[in-house]
Amino acid sequence: MKKLFIIVITSGILFSACTKNAITGRSQLSLVPESTLQQEAVTQYQSFLSQNKVVSSSSNKDAEMVKRVGSRIAAAITKYYADKGLSNELAGYKWEFNLVDNKEVNAWCMPGGKVVVYTGLLPITQDEAGLAIVLGHEITHAVAHHGQERMSQALVAQGLGVGGDLFTSGNSKANGIFNAIFAPSAQIGVLLPNSRKQELEADHYGLIFAAMAGYNPKVAIPLWERMEKLNSGNTTPEILSDHPVDSKRIAKLQAEMPEALKYYHPVSS
């Protein structure tokens, strides 16, 4: 009886903690406020940058490219949300784009627009458009609150308390989950992958945002095919353990291409 009572209460809390995503319309579990995640992201982003070798954009064309592509994607997202009357969804976004000298094939975006690209990704993306596809995808995970959803699920699964002081009370477990979700790296060793639904949403909107930013969305097909090939060796690149690629995903991208192309107006770089 007591167990049933707890289940009823818990499901009541979980039900009331579900929000409808402004862009996708999908109902998502959100136990941690976006503002709390953005605050934590500022702390964790600074800490990450201080512990890694950031490539200066004043003297390096790759780092400059990361900032340029990132800013264009951010501008496209800002416009997309504004056109839909949803600008308040991006309140608190203070975009930052940094390249770190690290051979991992990896890139991520924390809530609030804190982005890191690893130098190991660039030989695979090959050019600006390829990078735009990956950044469009990664940033979509953030703006579509996918990390918030995974964080909430992980907190429930681990029986951790939630609230405004989740991160500041020295809760190292919550900090660990945050980093495993938002800055996944081989070094962390914990894997909390995106769901298939989240992956498809990130592909769909990522293509649109890259196209709006002036990059040909068609490069997404050969790009993800190159990624898939990396997987045939002994090691799985970091970005693939979090974002698996298979023939179904490629087919879905191909099916979404006509819609993305409607948003595509090439810009000269």
* Helix (H) or strand (E) run with residue 168 in it: none
Dihedral angle, C-alpha 166, 171, 177, 179, nearest 10 °: 100
- Which candidate in 138, 201, 238, 256 is catalytic? 138
Residue among 63 and 109 whose Cβ is closer to Zn ion: 109
Q: What is the biggest distance separating any 2 CA atoms in the chain, rounded to whole angstroms?
A: 67
138 is catalytic: yes
Binding span for Zn ion by CB under 5 A among 73-81, 155-163, 190-198, 215-223:
190-198
Interaction between residue 243 and Zn ion (CB under 5 A): yes
Binding span for Zn ion by CB under 5 A among 79-87, 127-135, 170-178, 196-204:
196-204
CA separation (Å) from 87 to 34, 92, 179? 15, 11, 27
Smallest distance, Zn ion to C-beta of residue 95, A: 19
Q: Hey, is 27 helix, strand or coil?
A: strand
Smallest distance, Zn ion to C-beta of residue 230, A: 15
Quote the CA–CA distance of 246 and 4 in Å, as a whole number. 41
Site size toward Zn ion (CB under 5 A) is: 4
Smallest distance, Zn ion to C-beta of residue 146, A: 8
Residue among 167 and 224 whose Cβ is closer to Zn ion: 224
Smallest distance, Zn ion to C-beta of residue 4, A: 38
Smallest distance, Zn ion to C-beta of residue 49, A: 22
Residues present in the chain in total:
269
3-state secondary structure 76-90: HHHHHHHHCCCHHHH
Binding span for Zn ion by CB under 5 A among 49-57, 153-161, 189-197, 249-257:
189-197
Smallest distance, Zn ion to C-beta of residue 138, A: 7
Interaction between residue 207 and Zn ion (CB under 5 A): no
Binding span for Zn ion by CB under 5 A among 8-16, 70-78, 193-201, 249-257:
193-201
Interaction between residue 202 and Zn ion (CB under 5 A): yes
195: closest CA among 149, 248, 238, 158?
149
Closest chain position to Zn ion (CB):
243
Binders in 148-167 for Zn ion, by CB under 5 A: none
Residue among 102 and 194 whose Cβ is closer to Zn ion: 194
Q: Is the dihedral of CA 43, 113, 145, 125 positive or negative?
A: negative
Contact 120, 102 (CB under 8 A): yes
The DSSP line for 193-226 is: PPPHHHHHHHHHHHHHHHHHTT--GGGHHHHHHH
Interaction between residue 100 and Zn ion (CB under 5 A): no
Contact residues toward Zn ion (CB under 5 A) are 194, 199, 202, 243
Residues involved in catalysis:
138
